[in-house]
Structure 1
């Protein structure tokens, strides 16, 4: 654009100067044209810059929630005195006091904003995390709860131990990732850049053709168009108008401005979208594959029963007790972060089991199967039936345990040395919004599948609750098999989005066209996924898909506007209306129109905010709690082998 404007202004000034120095030429002077042209261009750039600032206001708002000062609790002070310090001076392990406050428009007080990521050491309160998760409802935090920088303390005083501060906080990570995402070009942008690069040379050629036509032929064919001027003067003026009216800038802005608004808007709504290329891919998705545990279910399993078969030991007069089983299993599972392992440890603590530890160097875990360790000189295996049998568990108790495999139940087997000792049942409730999300996707014509490491009956039960056809349920699969299933769908020309939350989903998430990680899941899932639902709500999946579609729709509108403007504007600037209406564009008028075209693209991109809010899918999604329904737990680590 600078090249075309510079050539236009220089040509106008040169022709006017030549006409003023040599009056005999009979050319008109238009010194006002280059001045007005540059003025209009600068005005357009100013308005364009203001529009860009408006486009990034969502990210600015995310930054604005971070306070500048904190109340540091003094070490060794019996009166719990505090001192106000800059947030950037906080270190890991510092204790800060967060006072309660009320959120108001244009009101910022560092007293009630969380400065750093940390853990609550004392106090209880409700926290507003909407600034970065998009979750509108406050959540309760108490001793041991994790809190994130930028959250707002609503009604209770909390003492928080700093774990991460400054740019290392969750909000800092989000801002950094979004900034990186905004620098990643969508495939359509790469095509537009190639067109825009050649566009400038094409406009120069059209300008030269316009000058040649009106200087050599136009005056003879249409003498009335001269208006008592010379053919050379008219030809120069029209060729300058062609240079100026053409706007490659509008083409260049069409995609990045929409992507800028889309990614910023997503970040403010709890949707971490890592690049414009992801928005483009997401808008084309025609198949969604869900993991079960932690995705369609809440991912918080609870031990409901410990089943001890008759005479599991070789000594028929002795049996394992529930406490013994939980104690041994908890010793193994205390080494994992798996939700089932956490449930076993929690159940052992609830029954006041003696704390035991696995011997150093003996713990082994296999995703999709289970874990094993030496505890109190016993080899304890926890996992699938195949896993415990692989580690030597045999005996008549096997049949007794298999009889307890009841429909709709998720279970874990416990092996002690060569004995199959017990089976533990779990309950994990389905998310309240899962059925509505599946229904919404199906209504849009999107194919929905579910992958599960659990046994067929348990997987089908969850599928029935959420509305997924049993023919599209793939049960008893390990992580590698999940990845292979995604690849098979892609071979059939499907554009696949995989939604998961665990380490065992990482391979499938990475293989899919668009990996979507639940915000409450494992870090490995979030790291390999270009989309993260920070609010840990399935309805955000619908929001992300709608935002991607609206963003790409805006990109197409911008491109239509940019191409349409040039297709219409360049012929008019070249004088196509002179024979019909006597109308022509001066270079200054052309410059004004060029600025309007760029501003039109920016304005349309900003309107994406209003289009997104008016079409958000979650307006029609009303959670229907199923508190009375017992749901199974699953993860590929605890699959039932057939």
Structure 2
């Protein structure tokens, strides 16, 4: 009997620091849960931008984010949304926005950097939340993350047990691949800019290849994948409250990612007995 384990990234494998700025009110919101913020309105779309933090800091701070994206031909990925939208619809609003300026994004980058700069292994991703009803960019945001204590050892142990591991995350692929290299997860098992429905599709595809597929997540954007998985694990290593429906779909709740190993060991024994 074969088993595969799929991990979310931010909040599951990575201790994550998130900062958002409300570009309408000017409020900077540290330690924000970006998926909860996005899902609190049907009109919001969480977008990952293919930009580099240093280049944003060095850019003209008064420039519109939309103008910067157009000038540098910067693409984007839709991380999550409650609406069914096309990329063209989202892109039309993103690239014509008149609200957010580079300064708004730089503030988020600096705030996260101040929290994370002492970390030896770090990934940083920036993006925006587009409000389709505004229409325009409602929030700029930056996410920084480092591997949780025990994350690398967990992946190593699972591989030694013959259990392949995968990452399915809404983060940018290039950043995920760098972290996957550190953790020891092959790049062809990394799925970036994965919306909730894409995560669920990844689980369904893996179930065609493996007898048991385990999904390990921590956020509301993992619910669809957890429902599709044969065994759903909710991890609470990332501080913060989680909606009740996450607990409802989880087969097991753990405090640390390293607890995935004994869960898989028990599943191996159960499948062998069957």
TM-score of the aligned structures, taking structure 1 as reference length? 0.29
Match in the other structure for 1:524: 245
For 1:332-343, what aligned pairs fall within 5 Å after superposition? Answer: 339-340=33-34
Is contact 1:499-1:518 (8 Å) kept?
A: yes
- Alignment correspondent of 1:506: 223
Cα 1:400/1:551, change in 2 over 3 Å: closer
1:412 aligns with 2:127: yes
Alignment of 1:477-626 (within 5 A): 477-519=194-236, 521-533=242-254, 536-549=255-268
Partner of 1:364: 41
Find the counterpart in structure 1 of residue 96 from structure 2.
394
Match status 1:325 vs 2:23: yes
Distance between the aligned counterparts of 1:414 and 1:427, measured in 2? 17
Aligned counterpart, 2:82: none
What's the CA shift for 1:526? Answer: 2.3
Q: CA RMSD in A?
A: 4.2
1:98-117 map, 5 Å: none
Tell me: CA distance 1:537–1:486, structure 2 relative to 1, closer, same or farther (3 Å): same
Deviation at 1:384, TM superposition (A): 6.7
2: distance between equivalents of 1:531 and 1:517? 6
The SS at the match of 1:496 is strand
Question: Structure 1 526/338 Cα, relative in aligned 2: closer, same or farther at 3 Å?
Answer: farther
| CA deviation string 1:525-570 (max 9, x = no partner) | 321122222xx211111122234445677x79xxxxxxxxxxxxxx
Higher helix proportion: 1
Paired residue for 1:441, among 155, 158, 166? Answer: 158
TM-score between the two structures when normalised by the length of structure 2? 0.62
Deviation, structure 1 residue 508: 0.9
How many equivalent residue pairs?
214
- In structure 2, C-alpha distance between the alignment counterparts of 1:463 and 1:295, rounded to whole Å: 13
Question: Structure 2 CA distance, aligned partners of 1:531 and 1:504?
Answer: 17
TM-fit CA distance, 1:444: 1.2
User: How far, CA to CA, are the matches of 2:44 and 2:270 in structure 1?
Assistant: 38
Distance change (3 Å), C-alpha of 1:287 and 1:422: closer
Distance 2:129 2:257 in 1: 33
Distance 1:329 1:389 in 2: 25
Give 3-state SS (helix, strand or coil) of 2:7's partner: strand
1:621 aligns to what?
none
Q: Which residue of 2 aligns with 1:455?
A: 172
Shift of 1:429: 2.2
* Structure 2 residue 166 is the aligned partner of structure 1 residue 472: no
Q: Structure 2 CA distance, aligned partners of 1:414 and 1:547?
A: 41
Question: What secondary structure does 1:292 align onto?
Answer: coil
What displacement does 1:369 show? 3.0
Superposed, 1:81-480 pairs within 5 Å as 284-298=1-15, 300-303=16-19, 325=23, 327-328=25-26, 339-340=33-34, 364-365=41-42, 369=46, 389=91, 391=93, 394=96, 408-413=123-128, 423-480=140-197
CA distance in 2, matches of 1:447, 1:550: 17
CA distance in 2, matches of 1:342, 1:437: 27
Query: 1:506 offset after TM fit, Å?
Result: 1.1
Larger RCO: 1 or 2 (CA < 8 Å, sep 6+):
2
Displacement after TM superposition at 1:448 (Å) = 1.0
Q: 5+ unaligned residues in a row in structure 2: which ranges?
A: 48-75, 79-86, 110-121
8 Å contact from structure 2 (residues 100, 140) kept in 1: no
- Deviation of residue 422 (structure 1)? 7.4
CA contact (8 A) 1:438 1:466 kept: yes
More strand by share: 2
Aligned-pair CA distance for 1:458: 1.8
